[in-house]
Chain A
Amino acid sequence: MKVFEFDKVSRGYGAGDVLSRISFGVDRGEVIGLLGRNGAGKTTLIHLVMGMLAPREGEVKVFGLDPRREAVEVKRRIGYVAEDQELPDFLKVREVIAMNRQLFEGWDDSMARDLINRFELPPDRKIKDLSRGQARQVALLCAVSHRPELLILDEPAGGLDPAARRQFLETSIRLLNETGTTILFSSHHMGDVERMASRLIMIHDHQKWIDSDLDAIREGFSLALVPADAGVDGERLLSLPSCLCARRHGDLFHAVYELDPDTCCKSLRKELAVETIQCRSLGLEEMFIELAGRES
């Protein structure tokens, strides 16, 4: 059984859709990095998994359940940390933890205690008196200490300094992924995604643009640099098989193909009869900019 599954799910907030007919499933133990520009629908997708939003059409299943109808059952099995998440700021750290302990079955006291020590959290200080990073650490502690089957991190490290961010994410991974917990996280930090994720889903133009293993992305995508004066335009490049996007950068057209660089180069030179075409693999950040940064 999939940990969660989207079947032709659409969802919007007004007339249009933010997500349109998206389908995919996630297996146990996968670490999914969710990418997309601001407003692409990452948080909407996460809220659909949490049952906090209902799909306009299609079906969302989490642990085989409807997260809207079986909201409590589903949320009990999920750990959730979001950038804009508000903890009850009038409570002390220990009280927030105690409250979550009551809400979530399977709470692991030793893990909570271990994290308090590791993060050096002051148990008797109120949430409102903590720094941003400390508050995020409390949220993470609450999200992982019941050993959830699915951990969802929505821009969890936004606003944290690089060291705190790394500590935060690595703690999440180490604590849970080794026990088979599935992790879904969204982030703008490509480095974090490359380091953590085993699979990447990129959302763009309301659609699932890329859904692939990270290794496959590194080896299976390439950037073609085509001279603009070679008599080829963007539409011609886009019409070729496996082309994801193409646009002009000064004297060159940049086109991303779902092919390895060698195959891509041979194929393009043959198809377009331009010998000066160059192809190379591209990093995640570069691919994100090429894909998400294009004019849509």
Chain B
Amino acid sequence: MIARLVLRHEIIQNLTKPLLITVVTVTLVLNILTFKMAQNEGTSLLDGFGAVPAQFVFLLPVIMILLMGKAGTRCRFWEAGLPLEVRKLWWAHFLALASASLFLILVSGVTFAGFGALNAAFIGKAFFNLADVFRLMVRPVAVSLTAAALVAVWRPGVGHLAEEPGWFRYRTLVIVVSVGLLGLLVVLPQVFLLVPLVLIGLVTVRSNKALPLAMSMSGSESPGEAAMSPSSAAEKWEAVGPSRRVVVLVLLRTLLKWPVTWLALVPLAVLFGLMMSGRDILGMDEPYLRFMNFFMTVYILFALTGHFVKNLYKVDHLPVDRRTLLRWLVVPITGFFLLGYSAGRIMDTLDPVTNEKIVFDNGGESYGLKVSPEYFAFAGSDETPVMTAPWGEAHEAPVEPVFRGLPGVLWKPYATPEGSSLEFVAWQISRATAAVYGLEIDPDEISARYLKADPDGRVNVRESGLTLAADFPDARHRNLGPVFPILVGGELFLLMVILALYFKVFKPGITIRKIQVVFWIIMGGLMACHIGGYIFFMLGWTREWVVYGFWLGRIRELGELGPAGYVGAWAGMLLLVSVAWRWAEKSFLAAEAPTS
């Protein structure tokens, strides 16, 4: 009987939102952790810095369940009306809370293990295997059971905890205690895991002793009792006139139903905005992230808009323009994303990255002049381009296919292959300096300041290195072109197209359940695109720097056209996004609110 009650408990029936947030966040953190591990040449998550944050990631489901998982409902009216002992209802709530937390921890664990398996299969680095994941989960599991027990002990004879005064404070306390307990368990020896287990036992015994004969459903039991007398109602009544904006905010909140979900995901939108700006975040000086997280950004933005449209029926009878509703659904979250992007750009302006964009590598296989991939050129055919100096010295340029099996290569116009003369290298550095820093430096000056010929005739840089940015204060990274309209415009365009298609699902006879299925299919598709990119990299079908160089190089070339390039990019982006917006709007106007 208790098992049936657990399965039908509101906590179990409302796992969708916590699951959504858990999956998104765990995937994001895993992206970052594996990236850092790869950067730092790490071998195992458990040996490195990642073990502590990874364990806190496992705690996230517990927090999600407490915040939005109906943890405050011990039992509903109909359950309280069943001929069941209070003890069974109490256990059902406790077990539902514990098993929901454990389920989400397990989902996180599966995601971890999946990432680990992918890493092992494709890049040969098993940063975490099943045993690692299991070890990471032990402490969060203990904490989640403690949290469930702490909730269970609070007013054990009350059905609607969420309607009790003090619930909000107590729930916050449980979250703080859980985080603190995990912090302690992480630094203490494993034997201390017994402490929460003993605590759970004590709490269970104490609560069972304190159970009343019947579950109290007070709080919403007799709401009409305190109705005021007509005279006092008249005295209290004052017509207030909120602005129309406030009204729309109320409608928006009605659509969001439980705004905590939305608010919990807002920081992710800001974070992805920061990432898209190209700003070095979380210590990851990795510009490729801009392009690698294209689909993940759309995933986040769609999650924060599409998920809530199913509640349209709640406001559909009111005289509010659907266009207004759509604006309020999309614009705020897009605003948060753009806020992150703007913050990244402002940080870049105030604290510009001054690293050298032109370096000379003396190493064996990677010998030669190196510039950022955005300065690589694109050739539509597979023919190897030739770099020819004015005096006739010519070398074949190194090439890399944009995508294996398809025509088109990215080639390095400033390369200095083995056998290049000192003049050729100086000429190439001079050209690269003009392209990257906008500085015209005579090849002879470059040759005299930076280059030397080794006894074996190989050209090399002097011991002081190639320090162009440091030596020439006027050397500034040139503008990369209209990145914002193309990158962000592309994301907004894709978001609006997806929304337009999604709204088409809101047709006669559609139920909320079917809409949720479609929502998750779209989310899965976007996630597949995101993960697919990584798989292509791992399989070697393309490379991060090629994708980055291909796109940013073309954007940079557009910027080199001058104002026409920028105007064209902005106009094109505005046109595309506005056309997609109109399409989404049209779909939304035709959408019918789903039935439950």
Give the B-binding residues of A (Cβ under 8 A).
11-14, 50, 52-54, 56, 71-76, 80, 82, 85-86, 88, 90-91, 94-95, 97-99, 101-104, 109, 112-113, 116-118, 120-125, 128-131, 133-134
Contacts and interface: CB of A to CB of B under 8 A. Distances in A.
Given A71-B322, A95-B242, A120-B228, 17 more contacts: A11-B508, A12-B509, A52-B316, A52-B592, A56-B508, A71-B319, A72-B320, A75-B318, A76-B319, A102-B241, A102-B247, A104-B319, A116-B237, A120-B229, A120-B230, A121-B227, A130-B224
19 contacts: A12-B509, A52-B317, A53-B508, A53-B592, A54-B592, A56-B508, A71-B319, A75-B317, A94-B238, A94-B239, A98-B240, A99-B247, A101-B239, A103-B319, A112-B239, A120-B228, A120-B230, A122-B227, A130-B224
Given A14-B509, A98-B240, A133-B224, A52 B230 contact: no
B223 interface: yes
Identify which of A80, A85, A98, A133 gathers the most chain B CB atoms within 10 Å of its CB.
A98
Given A52-B316, A75-B317, A88-B254, A134 B239 contact: no
Contacts of B205: none
Contacts of B224: 130-131, 133-134
B253 interface: yes
Nearest to B229: A120
B471 interface: no
B319 A116 contact: no
Nearest to B596: A84
Contacts of B321: 71-72
Contacts of A131: 223-224
Contact of A72 (B229, B242, B319): B319
B250 interface: yes
A95 B314 CA distance: 17
A80 B318 CA distance: 9
Interface string B218-231: 00100110111110
Contacts of B223: 125, 129-131, 134
A80 B250 CA distance: 19
A125 B250 CA distance: 17
Contacts of B316: 50, 52
B593 interface: yes
A128 B72 CA distance: 15
Contacts of B595: 13
B508 A13 contact: yes
A103 B320 contact: yes
Given A54-B590, A112-B239, A129-B223, A121 B253 contact: no
B236 interface: yes
B233 A12 contact: no
Contacts of A112: 239
B242 A97 contact: no
* 10 closest residue pairs by CB, A with B: A13-B509, A75-B319, A131-B224, A76-B319, A117-B230, A98-B240, A72-B319, A102-B247, A80-B317, A88-B254
A115 B228 CA distance: 13
Contacts of B234: 113, 116-117
Contact of A102 (B227, B229, B242): B242
B169 interface: no
B209 interface: no
A191 B319 CA distance: 32
A58 to B, nearest CB: 14
A118 to B, nearest CB: 7
Contacts of B253: 88, 90
Contacts of B4: none
A91 B254 CA distance: 10
